[in-house]
Structure 1
Amino acid sequence: MDIDNAEASSSTPKRNYVYIKDTTFDATPQPALDPASLPDGDTSICIDNGSHSWRAGYSTMSSPYVDRLNVISRYRERKNFRNLMLFGSDVDADATSRSNTRYMFDGDMLVHGDLLECALDFTFLQLGITGSRVDKPIVMTERLANPLFTRAMTSELLFELYGAPSVTYGIDSLFAFSRHRHPDGLAINMGHNASTVIPVVDGRGILSRSKRIPWGGAQASDLMLRLAQLKYPGFPTKVTSTQATFMARETWYFSSNYEEELRELGDPVKLSEMTKVVQFPYTTAEVVEKSEAELAAAAEKRREQGKRLQDMQAKQRAEKLAAKAAELEEYKALIAERSSLKRSDYLLRISETTPFETEAELEAWIKRTESDIRRKQKKEMGEEEVEEEPSFPLVDRPDEELNEEEIKEKRRQRLMKAGWEARVKVREEKKREKERLEEIRQKEENERIHTPDIWAAKLRAEQEAVIARMQERKKKKAQLGDRKSAAAQSRMKSIASLAAEGPPTKKKKGEGEKDDGFGKDDSDWAVYREIGGDDESEAEEEDIAQLDSLEARLLQYDPSFTEDNTLEGRQHLKNALINAFVRGGNSERYNPEDVAQNHQLHLNVERIRVPETWFQPSMVGLDCAGLGEVAGWVLNGFEEDERKRLMQCIVVTGGCANIPNIIPKMRNTLIPVLPFRAPLKIVSSYDGGDPRLEAWKGMAEWSRTEEAKKARVTRQEYDEHGSEWLKEHAWGNPPP
């Protein structure tokens, strides 16, 4: 089952979740304008050509009719052998179109005229212009200090290819500022690839005092993506740039006091509260649910298969036992013939008809086999096996009364008797140990029932002692990793002393290796365990088992002992900050088998860290001042009267001006660098709308003014002066 959006699997989306769609492609196309509905008269076509978004429409509209991502995909469709051109989010239609996605901008500079032509073709068709020529004046935005070749390339396209009657260019942030009808102010643009600060004095942009910061939404989104990749190196899917931009713009916000809020996030609770979970699309395996009858039938089938397997194994065991019994009877019959044959013939027959070399080996095998068959038969019948005390008749007889064969048998019986006595001793020791442990358990049980407080305190003390030993062992192990530590130096001295023990001696000619006797004593081998740490690993396992037993009993019988008091609980609380940072401090444990959890990114510190780069570019290695510092420097560069007027209209626009808390952040940054208690007014839009549309709306309003009509470069002027000809106006770049 394909899940395009995890939100679709639940009727109510989870709080603090951001759901990313698998694709931004909309199968419902936007209809083109009807040519009959086009406005008459002196109406301009306004185009805001941004490095992220393309917005276009008629100047009489309240909002742009075309508002799309500024990306283009051109490719040849293999199925129908057609050349296709997709614009905007339509490039996500399929894998082929996505792989052919291209941008007309390199950074914030327009460099690909062929892609600009594709965007213009799409725009004019959407605006209902079906003829070979465009009969409306065109107003288009450009970047601050736009190079001449870029403007010349655009003018050549509009005049030569589309036959536009006139063209006008202007700076996007100044167009947005023009809406406020204020002669003095500061136009701040937070664009996709760069941010600019332009002062406006007496209704005209002072570009000589303008500043540009090489940081925008594209770099910030990429930083957000790289921080997420660093945080989750094993993320299962590749995150596209479009998804990264969406993820950033849905989660980030400006902190009014970055350092103070960063210190507050040292609390895991606050870190968890600010976490946003970004859920990416995922695919789950389709699970076929079976009915109760099918489950019961499957269980019955498994039982029958298990019973059939058990019967088969029992039959095989019985056959092996019968074959072993038949072989035993055959060898017993051979033993019975011993009295009727000569000893030499008897021994010859044993060597020829059996795999044994001597009579003693045959008798030993018969004895072992009889014991084995008897034990297996009792096990099949369910009887408890009781080992009978064996007899050793030759052990007590003196060697003078025995022949050579009997002496060999006596040695064998002596070894067997020693083994028997050792086994009996071990069983008795185990029995006594079991009785001792049972006595201790009973005593502890009585203590738990009658004095539970003392019992709990005793077990808690044992738990602390075990934890202290484990921590000390872990500390020692960490010290051994540092060759300069005291523990590592002591270990090296032990190895060196072992290597240098005893002076080296020269071997004489023909003399073999001299045995120093190492290894004859079991204590000699302890040195390798001491050097290799085998004793430490065994002690670690014993401590873990003891700790598990202690904590299990305390959890069962001590109501004041909770999961947080266990070693795992302590480590969980200790790592709560890490857990809150990586997993958002979720109450549910992370399940690596959960596909949905594996496709989640938990963003918390990144939400304020990434936007802060606009005001502290040094965080990412940029050698430039921040946006607030640059704006303050530009304002302080004017005289007091001019500065007061400029401070009354600071306009922050652009796509990234939608980041929450941008106005308070800008205000808190400017107040310390400006005169004390100086009045300050910062806005992001004229009518409370979307700041990213302010440039287009300001351009549409300005294009209807007399100033705009005078600033138009007509076709006749283009033919006479060339593509680099430009008329100066208040909101545009100055002519060369």
Structure 2
Amino acid sequence: MATMPQRQTDYRFFSPAIPIVIDNGGFNFRAGWAGESDPRITFRNLVHRPRHKATGEMVTIVGDHDPALLKYFDCTRSSFRSAFDSNVVYQFEIMEYVLDYAFERLGAEGSQVDHPILMTECVCNPLSSRSKMAELLFETYGVPSLAFGVDAAFGYKFNQQKGICSEDGLAICSGFTTSHIIPFVQGEPVLEACSRTNVGGYHVTYYLKQLLSLKYPYHISSITWEKAEELKLEHCYVSFDYAAELKLFQKGTKEAEEKTTFWQLPFIPPSQEEEPSEELARKAALKEKQGQRLRDIAALKKFTRISELESELHDLEDLVQQLEEVEEEEIYPFLSTTVYNSRQELESAVHRVTQSLRKARGEPLESEDKLDTSLSEKYSLINVPDSELTPEQLKEKKKQIFLKTTSEGRLRAKQKKFEEELLREKQNQQDEEKRLENPELYLEETRAKYRDLSERLEQRKRLKTNGSRSNGNNNSSGGIGRGERLNSAQKERMRLLTTAAFDRGKGEDTFGAKDEDWQLYKMMSKDYDDDDDSFEEDEAELGRLTTRLQEIDETFVAKSDMELLQGTLEIPWPRPLTVEDYKMTLGIERFRCPEILFQPNMIGVDQAGLDEMTGVSLRRLSTQYTEAKNSMCNSILVLGGSSIFPGLESRLEAGIRKIRPYLSPLKVVRSMDPVLDSWRGAASYAAAMEFPTQIFSIQDYYEKGESGLRQYQIKYSL
């Protein structure tokens, strides 16, 4: 679990002449003071910018913090981002967040850093990346000077000082996303002979995660990237002979069983204790009591609703009766004391409350025949001829026609919906009666109806798409002609067009002279597919059968859901889960994942492995290094975060020996600390008396600019 590095409190006690050493790695960011043995702060070189769930404010989180803290943030719309592309910094906005956090943890106050900085970079770092990094450090933080050096070179020099390797040798550095081979002659790296492959520890972890996810699809949510990284560090190793190791596990020998490890997921067994019958009876009685209470509440709500509607209807009827006794000229003053502006609004309110009351009681709504009289009284000007109306009455007539049409359409829609609901309830009631009479027979008949109806609908869909005939080749795309892909309606339209064109092509084009000619357009606009109307009805019936089967059959799975299940990894368990189902086996995966360092083509990377790259770097050495080439292979140092796999040195030695002359000296050793030796070598280099002669000052930056950085190169042998 990642924790926030503690903020240092002794920043002001360091002299401005003491450099800050930064190992800017693709996985971890390390920073500390020159001359010390360990970095002061270490954190993941990542930036996350989620929003706070309570305030909605966007915050910046640097590093990989405790997941318990991230629960207060909305992390669904953002993800961790790195400033690196492979091992080159290209996102300097993210790099600025990382440097801000690092300097703050070191104890620097404000944005000004008054110490020289030694920063590591990848070998043969592009000038554009180095220039942007210098611009960021000089102009944003105001550092007085800085120096750039290769991390693997610092690690090699540190081990050389400890007597692990010699001046002439090779450094094999396998990092987070890339691996490098760097030759050294007299303590200095030969950059023109370096090699790189884009495979590292990230790819090993991701490959392990993929293999376990394919092997255990039921627990894919538990196989996170962090857990795969932990399993890689604990269990993975490099095999001396990959093919022989595979055969060992294929035969299932005792040695293979000894090399197999297990990862046990948390498992909570289901309770096996059966509750006593008295407890079951008590729970059933309590459940029935709660159900009866809910039914009583629903009945009370219905009774209250009916009472309120009856009272409202009674008040409206009294108001209508009073309105009948009022003179014509006093209607408006009388209505001004109410919420209604006209007699029509009052009648509409009475009709609305009546319909709501009938619906609440479960009675059928009023038919259109009963409403015709009220509508005719409400819209009195509709049936009056226009010649008998004044211009104002004509406007009112148009308004009444529009209102009547809208009201009738709305009432018809409500009536149709109500009738459909009544029909559906009646059908469901009949189905339930059949089911109670013979449940097994009813279930079998319902399944047969669903199966026949779904097959018929699928066949009609295929006919609509591909046509009703086959050309005999079972070819669903290339062998079917256009005429065979048309449905009956499209074929009828084409027949009408062909007939009309043939008839009109015999002589003068007189189409349109007769009224019956225009009937052709009406015929073409019709849908001649007689099944289209029933198609929607069949789909609605299929949906009803699906819902019904889901209610009465626990094992039923709709065809649409089955298609979705086939595309997912979630598979229903055929039996109760046991502790064995939560145990993951790591066998071949232990050595198969690190093998991509030697065979990158296993994950689709068409590049050379570590042993082959060593031969490439040796061949790139010019003739002036011929004497040093022989002694170089006697001092091969392995370092980097991805070089900690057991068996890596022996596998490298075996692979390199195949490409070297017979009986040539060869020795592969591991760095004292493959992870921290790069930072320790840089800290030792920055503490040397000659370090100020290797820096690139801010004055050089303003005077020389990018051209000065192009020529800038430190000397590692001080």
Residue 130 of structure 1 aligns to a residue whose secondary structure is coil
Task: Say if 2:61 is the partner of 1:86.
Answer: yes
Q: Which residue of 2 aligns with 1:312?
A: none
Q: 2:638 aligns with which of 652, 663, 678?
A: 652
User: Match of 2:262, as an amino acid?
Assistant: V
Say which one has the larger Rg. Answer: 1
Question: What do residues 445-497 of structure 1 show as CA deviations (whole Å, max 9, x unaligned)?
Answer: xxxxxxxxxxxxxxxxxxxxxxxxxxxxxxxxxxxxxxxxxxxxxxxxxxxxx
Question: What do residues 368-416 of structure 1 show as CA deviations (whole Å, max 9, x unaligned)?
Answer: xxxxxxxxxxxxxxxxxxxxxxxxxxxxxxxxxxxxxxxxxxxxxxxxx
Question: What do residues 338-360 of structure 1 show as CA deviations (whole Å, max 9, x unaligned)?
Answer: xxxxxxxxxxxxxxxxxxxxxxx
Q: CA deviation at 1:627?
A: 0.7
RMSD of the alignment, in Å?
3.1
* C-alpha distance in 1 between matches for 2:598 and 2:156: 22
Q: 2:209 aligns with which of 218, 225, 231?
A: 225
Q: CA deviation at 1:98?
A: 4.7
* C-alpha distance in 2 between matches for 1:627 and 1:637: 15
Equivalent pair of 2:51/2:75 in contact (CA under 8 Å): no
Q: Which residue of 1 aligns with 2:459?
A: none
Equivalent pair of 2:653/2:668 in contact (CA under 8 Å): yes
Equivalent pair of 1:224/1:244 in contact (CA under 8 Å): yes
Q: Which residue of 1 aligns with 2:604?
A: 621
* C-alpha distance in 1 between matches for 2:49 and 2:707: 30
* C-alpha distance in 2 between matches for 1:126 and 1:97: 25
Q: Which residue of 1 aligns with 2:6?
A: 31
Q: Which residue of 1 aligns with 2:675?
A: 692
- In the alignment of these two chains, the number of paired residues is 416
Q: 2:19 aligns with which of 44, 53, 65?
A: 44
Q: Which residue of 2 aligns with 1:190?
A: 174
- Pairing of 1:714-725 with structure 2 (within 5 A): 714-723=697-706, 725=708
- Pairing of 1:191-340 with structure 2 (within 5 A): 191-237=175-221, 239-268=223-252, 269-280=254-265, 284=268, 295=276, 297-298=278-279
User: Match of 2:256, as an amino acid?
Assistant: L
Q: CA deviation at 1:171?
A: 1.2
- Pairing of 1:582-597 with structure 2 (within 5 A): 593-594=576-577, 597=580
Question: What do residues 538-593 of structure 1 show as CA deviations (whole Å, max 9, x unaligned)?
Answer: xxxxxxxxxxxxxxxxxxxxxxxxxxxxxxxxxxxxxxxxxxxxxxxxxxxx9963
Task: Say if 2:135 is the partner of 1:156.
Answer: yes
Q: Which residue of 1 aligns with 2:627?
A: 641
* C-alpha distance in 1 between matches for 2:703 and 2:266: 57
Quickly say closer, same or farther: Cα 1:693–1:164, change in 2 above 3 A: same
Moved more, 265-274 or 166-175: 265-274
Equivalent pair of 1:592/1:598 in contact (CA under 8 Å): no
Residue 113 of structure 2 aligns to a residue whose secondary structure is coil
Quickly say closer, same or farther: Cα 1:298–1:172, change in 2 above 3 A: same
Quickly say closer, same or farther: Cα 1:640–1:106, change in 2 above 3 A: closer
Q: Which residue of 1 aligns with 2:713?
A: 728
Task: Say if 2:578 is the partner of 1:611.
Answer: no
Q: Which residue of 2 aligns with 1:145?
A: 124
Quickly say closer, same or farther: Cα 1:713–1:91, change in 2 above 3 A: farther
Q: CA deviation at 1:246?
A: 2.4
Task: Say if 2:89 is the partner of 1:113.
Answer: no
Q: Which residue of 2 aligns with 1:64?
A: 39
* C-alpha distance in 1 between matches for 2:62 and 2:269: 34
Q: CA deviation at 1:653?
A: 1.0
Quickly say closer, same or farther: Cα 1:272–1:125, change in 2 above 3 A: same
* C-alpha distance in 2 between matches for 1:185 and 1:61: 27
Residue 678 of structure 1 aligns to a residue whose secondary structure is coil
Equivalent pair of 2:6/2:41 in contact (CA under 8 Å): no
Q: Which residue of 1 aligns with 2:347?
A: none
- Pairing of 1:569-588 with structure 2 (within 5 A): none
Residue 234 of structure 1 aligns to a residue whose secondary structure is helix
Q: CA deviation at 1:140?
A: 0.8
Q: CA deviation at 1:105?
A: 1.4
User: Match of 1:222, as an amino acid?
Assistant: Y
Equivalent pair of 1:72/1:91 in contact (CA under 8 Å): no
* C-alpha distance in 1 between matches for 2:628 and 2:148: 28
User: Match of 2:49, as an amino acid?
Assistant: R
Equivalent pair of 1:199/1:634 in contact (CA under 8 Å): yes
* C-alpha distance in 2 between matches for 1:254 and 1:25: 27
Equivalent pair of 2:631/2:665 in contact (CA under 8 Å): no
Q: Which residue of 2 aligns with 1:462?
A: none
Q: Which residue of 1 aligns with 2:115?
A: 136
* C-alpha distance in 1 between matches for 2:230 and 2:284: 54
Structure 1, gaps ≥5 residues long: 1-23, 305-589
Task: Say if 2:103 is the partner of 1:124.
Answer: yes
Q: CA deviation at 1:190?
A: 0.2
Quickly say closer, same or farther: Cα 1:303–1:185, change in 2 above 3 A: closer
* C-alpha distance in 2 between matches for 1:33 and 1:64: 12
Residue 692 of structure 1 aligns to a residue whose secondary structure is coil
Residue 134 of structure 1 aligns to a residue whose secondary structure is coil
Q: CA deviation at 1:632?
A: 3.0
Equivalent pair of 1:275/1:604 in contact (CA under 8 Å): yes
Residue 598 of structure 2 aligns to a residue whose secondary structure is coil
* C-alpha distance in 2 between matches for 1:702 and 1:302: 77
Residue 32 of structure 1 aligns to a residue whose secondary structure is coil
Question: What do residues 397-437 of structure 1 show as CA deviations (whole Å, max 9, x unaligned)?
Answer: xxxxxxxxxxxxxxxxxxxxxxxxxxxxxxxxxxxxxxxxx
Structure 2, gaps ≥5 residues long: 286-572
User: Match of 1:164, as an amino acid?
Assistant: V
Moved more, 242-251 or 651-660: 242-251
Q: CA deviation at 1:695?
A: 1.0
- Pairing of 1:353-432 with structure 2 (within 5 A): none
User: Match of 1:656, as an amino acid?
Assistant: S
- Pairing of 1:2-17 with structure 2 (within 5 A): none
Q: CA deviation at 1:206?
A: 0.8
Residue 665 of structure 2 aligns to a residue whose secondary structure is coil
Q: CA deviation at 1:230?
A: 2.3
User: Match of 1:245, as an amino acid?
Assistant: E
Residue 676 of structure 2 aligns to a residue whose secondary structure is helix
Q: CA deviation at 1:716?
A: 0.8
Equivalent pair of 1:203/1:730 in contact (CA under 8 Å): no
Equivalent pair of 2:51/2:74 in contact (CA under 8 Å): no
Equivalent pair of 2:25/2:45 in contact (CA under 8 Å): yes
Q: CA deviation at 1:302?
A: 11
Question: What do residues 27-69 of structure 1 show as CA deviations (whole Å, max 9, x unaligned)?
Answer: xx43211136743363211111111111111113211121111
Equivalent pair of 2:53/2:74 in contact (CA under 8 Å): no
Q: CA deviation at 1:252?
A: 1.0
Residue 701 of structure 2 aligns to a residue whose secondary structure is helix
Residue 102 of structure 1 aligns to a residue whose secondary structure is coil
Q: Which residue of 2 aligns with 1:423?
A: none
Q: CA deviation at 1:108?
A: 2.2
Equivalent pair of 2:193/2:618 in contact (CA under 8 Å): no
Quickly say closer, same or farther: Cα 1:134–1:679, change in 2 above 3 A: same
Q: 2:669 aligns with which of 674, 679, 683?
A: 683
Equivalent pair of 1:174/1:205 in contact (CA under 8 Å): yes
Moved more, 259-268 or 87-96: 87-96
* C-alpha distance in 1 between matches for 2:138 and 2:221: 46
Q: 1:672 aligns with which of 638, 649, 658?
A: 658
